[in-house]
Amino acid sequence: MKRIGLLGGIGPASTVLYYQELINRGRGKSGHSPEIFMASLDFELFTLLEETDTAAYVELIVDGCMALQAAGADVLAMAANSPHARYDLVAPRLHRPLVHIAEAVCRRAALLGIRHPLLLGIPITLRSAFYHDIGTHYGLEILVPDPKYDDLLRRVVFDELTFGIVRQESREEVLALLNGQPIDGLILGCTELGLLIGQEHVNVPVLDSLSIHVDAILRAADDTSKAPRRSEVAP
């Protein structure tokens, strides 16, 4: 298996889950734990993204990925959804493949026959185009919550889940966003949201971006696997 480079810290709680899942699932596939290099960024880099300081933000992401390359990683991944808003500025500067989280999620949705999923996540992810652009290629019409819920989602993720705090009251508030929505799937477009919401809480298929991304990373790192092409599942 190729060596995996994981860019974490964005946030810390889900980075721990990435590592555990990569180890456990990788061992299950091959009988051996994958070799993983990790670079953990300062969570405060979100300030740059929120202030739309794209150049400084991209430099931090690129520097982290290059450190992973230098360490010997063959396949790279960013352990969060929001950095993928700048994927097109980061990936061309790297010398290793960077596994795209939204590509993996949208492909899985298409394979499941989902067409109108609701995307949950922090405002940066919801108001960026990357999920919508990739989703369109797969025949998905991705819906997002009304902007009036941005503060709620930001609070739940940044003030609670990032620190491993899971509150039933917050779960109920977030699940209330689904009421009356004409959806046939739910995308957990923040890698911490799987701590709060599972399939047992929702009556439509739940697409946990962290779990799906881990599968895609292991596929990319598997020397014997053939990476799927969009044309294989695109409608």
Which element (helix H / strand E) includes 36?
strand 36-40
Give the per-residue pLDDT at 12.
Answer: 85
Condensed to tens digits (0 to 9), the pLDDT of residues 110-162 reads 999 999 999 999 998 999 999 999 999 999 999 999 999 999 999 999 899 98
> Whole-angstrom Cα distance, residue 114 to residue 94?
33
Give the per-residue pLDDT at 106.
Answer: 98
Q: Which residues of the chain have pLDDT under 50?
A: 227-235
Give the per-residue pLDDT at 224.
Answer: 65
Give the per-residue pLDDT at 46.
Answer: 64
Give the per-residue pLDDT at 49.
Answer: 64
Which element (helix H / strand E) includes 18?
helix 12-30
pTM, two decimal places: 0.91
> Whole-angstrom Cα distance, residue 80 to residue 158?
13
Domains of the chain and CATH, by start: 4-100+211-232 (3.40.50.1860), 102-209 (3.40.50.1860)
Give the per-residue pLDDT at 31.
Answer: 78
Give the per-residue pLDDT at 56.
Answer: 85
For residue 199, CA distances in Å to 67, 187, 194, 205 come to 36, 11, 9, 7
Rounded to the nearest 5 degrees, what angle is found at the Cα of 88, between the Cα atoms of 143 and 60?
105
Percent of the chain with pLDDT over 90: 77
